Amino acid sequence: MASPSPKSPEQSEKNKQYDRQLRLWGDHGQAALENGHICLINATALGTEILKSIVLPGVGAITIVDHNIVAEEDIGSNFFLDCSSKGLNRGTETLRLLLELNPAVQGHAVQEPTEQILQENPDFFKSFSIVVATSLGEKIIQDLAQHLWDINVPFILCRSVGFLGSFRIQIKEHAIIETHPENEQIGLRLDVPFPALAQYLDTFDIDTLDLKDHGQIPWIVILYKAVQKWQLSNQNRWPMSRKEKNEIKEIIQEFIRKDENGIPIEEENFEEALRAVNTALVPTFLPVKIQELLYCSSATNLTKDSLPFWIMCSALRNFIEAEGKSKLPLRGVLPDMTSSTEHYVKLQSMYRTQAVMEAEIVYRKVQEIVAQLHCESISETEVKLFCRHSHDLHLIKGSNIAMEYQLGSNSVASYIARYLEEPDVMMVHYILLRAAEIFRSEHCRAPGEWEPEADIAKLKTCVSRLLTDISCSPFPKDDHIHEMCRYGGAEIHSVSAFLGGCIAQEAIKIVTKQYNPVNNTFIYDGASTNTATFTF
């Protein structure tokens, strides 16, 4: 062979290292992660466990904000500290050991208190993909949350105290293109075939093909032919009901060739067609959820600052109203099927071509909008991805933690009260975690950290205040308050490890913009091993 030998693809060291996760979120997910910059406030055991699971898969950079000095008890529960760290800055020390996990990750440590940064240099937070905070008092939480809400940086507030833990995600608006739904509609447009497809489908005559070719007909052709035959006696309707679909199955059964003894010959493609009747004959439609998204004000009132997501939604709406004829763009993915390579490749390229064509129309419309608004351009790849997943777009509209913390008579208060009346013990834990933050804000330490007994009464006051704010009667028993004081703010490593994994997982979902993250609060009780989610 004279021609120069093609290089067998060398897998880069990086791709080898990340192979197992690339299979979950793909190259573009990895690229998004590598562009991510996570800020951690307070390198507690929980904080470092979160960063560990974000550093390992290769986030771009981390910044730790921590002015605390490493104490004896930090070393006991924090994997990223050793005895030599005692007396040194906690952020700097943990950063050093965290970065050892993955040399590709950039790291910074900032030794100023968060309060000071917020006052003197609030722009500091602007560049982060997510800010994660642990062990903060109520006052600073509210200020920080409000600021991050205003500058539109996602914020995850995390707590790990004794057997209790929680996280709260604050994100103004989070649009997810790749939601990875469990059941993806196939979307073959058999009910409204595009011209090339219709033409191709018509070239088949199931009854005249010889046996060899008969066993190679792709099942979507079989399905189409069966429906056509059915329509002859059904006013060209589309089969919808179970009964009608069973009639389609009967027609497919008739298509199957019989041997000389009249026994049906096993043909895999016809078996596949029978199995596909229930899923592949769903008529092409525009889901209500997507329709609402495309016609919401963010998509209809574009400005120069509109996010690419909304510009694409707007272009998609224009497409649906015009060329798309009320249909979303074709996904262009053909499921596996028994057939000859020729048929398969032909069908595949037909679907692909049509999908590309439709995505190009949407892309042109995007470009027009971009030109009109003079905003930043959006790549064709992005638009294609958007079109391919347009059936499953998802939008989360978040809420502000600062609002949640101003109880009074707002809807959050009645939401909490409803759960407390049930009574829901997980909401009781929420109250205690909030009370502990008020305590920290007022006494600059965790309840029970120095004097477990004396702090009980103080913590009880904090709880009462919260309960009064939401017009709830006091707890009948104090055992949860005692328990909280007994913890003394200490972290149990396994609880922090567990929560750290959960929070890192949600952070990665947010940074890669894939999968729907928790909206918006998660609470864990290690004593009863219960978990709950709430939407404040």
Partner 1 sequence: MVARVAGVFDEKLTEAIANSKILVVGAGGIGCEILKNLVLTGFPYIEIIDLDTIDVSNLNRQFLFHKEHVGKSKAQVAKDSALSFNPSVNIIAHHDSVISNDYGVNYFKQFNMVMNALDNRVARNHVNRMCLAANIPLIETGTAGYAGQVELIQKGQTQCYECQPKAPQKSFPGCTIRNTPSEPIHCIVWAKHLFNQLFGEEDPDQDVSPDTADPEAAGDAGASALRTEGTEAGNVERKSTRAWASETNYDPEKLFSKLFGDDIRYLLSMENLWKKRRPPTPLTWNNLPGKGNPTAQHSGLPDQRVWSMHECAQVFGDSCKALQADLKNRPEGDHLVWDKDEKSAMDFVTACANIRAHIFNIPLKSRFEIKSMAGNIIPAIATANAIVAGLAVLRAQNLLKGETRACTSVYLRPKVNHRGQLFVPEKTLTAPNPKCYVCASKPEVALACNLKQLTLKDLNAAFKDGLNMQAPDAVVEGKGLVVLSSEPGETDHNNEKTLEEIGLNDGSALVVDDFLQNYEVRVILQQKDEEKSWRLVTDPDIPMPGPKEEKPANGSNGADEPKPGPSCSKEDSDSDMEIIEEDDTGEPAPKPPKRRKVGMNNEIVDLC
Specify whether the CB–CB gap between 406 and 340 falls below 8 A.
no
DSSP state letters, 336-377: P-SS-HHHHHHHHHHHHHHHHHHHHHHHHHHHHHHHHHT---
Task: Please state, in angstroms and rounded to a whole number, the distance separating the CA atoms of residues 199 and 312.
Answer: 31
- At residue 115, the 3 state secondary structure works out as helix
Tell which positions 311-340 bind partner 1, by CB under 8 A: 336, 338, 340
CB of 19 to partner 1, least distance (A): 5
| Sole binder of partner 1 in the list 6, 262, 408, 476 (CB under 8 A) | 6
CA dist., res. 338 & res. 218, Å (int): 6
Distance (Å, rounded) from C-alpha 358 to C-alpha 383? 11
Which among 262, 158, 177, 171 is positioned nearest to 522, based on CA atoms?
158
Say whether the peptide bond before residue 423 is cis (omega within 30 degrees of 0): yes
Stretch that binds partner 1, among 13-21, 185-193, 301-309, 349-357 (CB under 8 A): 13-21
16-45 binders of partner 1 (CB under 8 A): 16-24, 27
Binders of partner 1 in range 62-91 (CB under 8 A): 72-73, 75-77, 79, 82
User: Smallest distance, Å, CB 511 to partner 1?
Assistant: 12
**Cross-strand bridge partners of residue 69:** 89
Q: How far is the CB of 44 from partner 1 (least distance, A)?
A: 13
Among 120, 123, 182, 479, binds partner 1 (CB under 8 A): 182
Least separation, in Å, of the C-beta of 409 and partner 1? 25
b/e code 159-184 from CB counts within 10 Å (16+ = b): bbbbbbbbbbbbbbebbbbbbeeeee
351 binds partner 1 (CB under 8 A): no
Q: How many residues of this chain bind partner 1 (CB under 8 A)?
A: 88
Regarding 416 and contact with partner 1 (CB under 8 A), the answer is no
Q: What backbone phi and psi angles, to 5 degrees, belong to 157?
A: -95, 125
493 binds partner 1 (CB under 8 A): yes
Strand partners, 155: 131, 170
Residue 536 is a binding residue for partner 1 (CB under 8 A): no
- We find the least distance from the C-beta atom of residue 16 to partner 1, in angstroms, to be 5
Q: Does 352 bind partner 1 (CB under 8 A)?
A: no
- DSSP alpha helix (H) spans, 374-408: 380-388, 401-405
Q: Give the tokens for residue 262.
A: 């009249």
Compute the least distance from the CB of residue 385 to partner 1, in Å. 13
Site stretch for partner 1 (CB under 8 A), options 212-220, 239-247, 382-390, 463-471: 212-220
Assess 344 for contact with partner 1 (CB under 8 A). Answer: yes
DSSP letters spanning 300-341? HS--TT--HHHHHHHHHHHHHHTTTTT-PPP---PPP-SS-H
Q: How far is the CB of 101 from partner 1 (least distance, A)?
A: 6
**Backbone φ/ψ region at 325: left (φ over 0), alpha (ψ -120 to 50), beta:** left
Long-range CB pairs of 125-129, under 8 A, 24+ apart, other chains included: 125/39, 125/151, 125/153, 126/151, 126/153, 127/37, 128/37, 128/38, 128/39, 128/63, 128/153, 129/35, 129/36, 129/37, 129/38, 129/153, 129/154, 129/510, 129/511
Among 124, 163, 238, 419, binds partner 1 (CB under 8 A): 163
For position 150 contacting partner 1 by CB under 8 A, the verdict is no
Interacting residue with partner 1 among 64, 502, 510, 511 (CB under 8 A):
502
Q: Does 345 help bind partner 1 (rule: CB under 8 A)? A: yes
Interface residue with partner 1, options 151, 198, 211, 454 (CB under 8 A)? 211
- Is the Cβ–Cβ distance between 535 and 519 less than 8 Å? yes
Determine, following the binding rule CB under 8 A, whether residue 500 of this chain makes contact with partner 1: yes
Decide if residue 202 touches partner 1 (CB under 8 A).
Answer: no
| The one segment of 98-106, 151-159, 218-226, 248-256 that binds partner 1 by CB under 8 A | 98-106
347 sits near partner 1 (criterion: CB under 8 A): no
**C-beta of 318: minimal distance to partner 1 in Å?**
28
Q: Is 415 in the site for partner 1 (CB under 8 A)?
A: no
Taking CB under 8 A as the criterion, the residue among 173, 202, 250, 268 binding partner 1 is 268
Site string for partner 1, 101-140 (x = CB under 8 A): xxx-------------------------------------
Can you tell me which of 92, 135, 170, 216 binds partner 1, judged by CB under 8 A? Answer: 216
Smaller CB separation from partner 1, 414 or 535: 535
Find the shortest distance in angstroms from Cβ 247 to partner 1.
26
Positions 505 through 524 that interact with partner 1 (CB under 8 A): 505, 508, 515-519, 522
Nearer to partner 1, 138 or 525 (CB): 525
Q: State which amino acid sits at residue 65.
A: V
DSSP string covering 468-517, please?
A: HHTT-PPPS--HHHHHHHHHTTPBPHHHHHHHHHHHHHHHHHHHHTBSPP
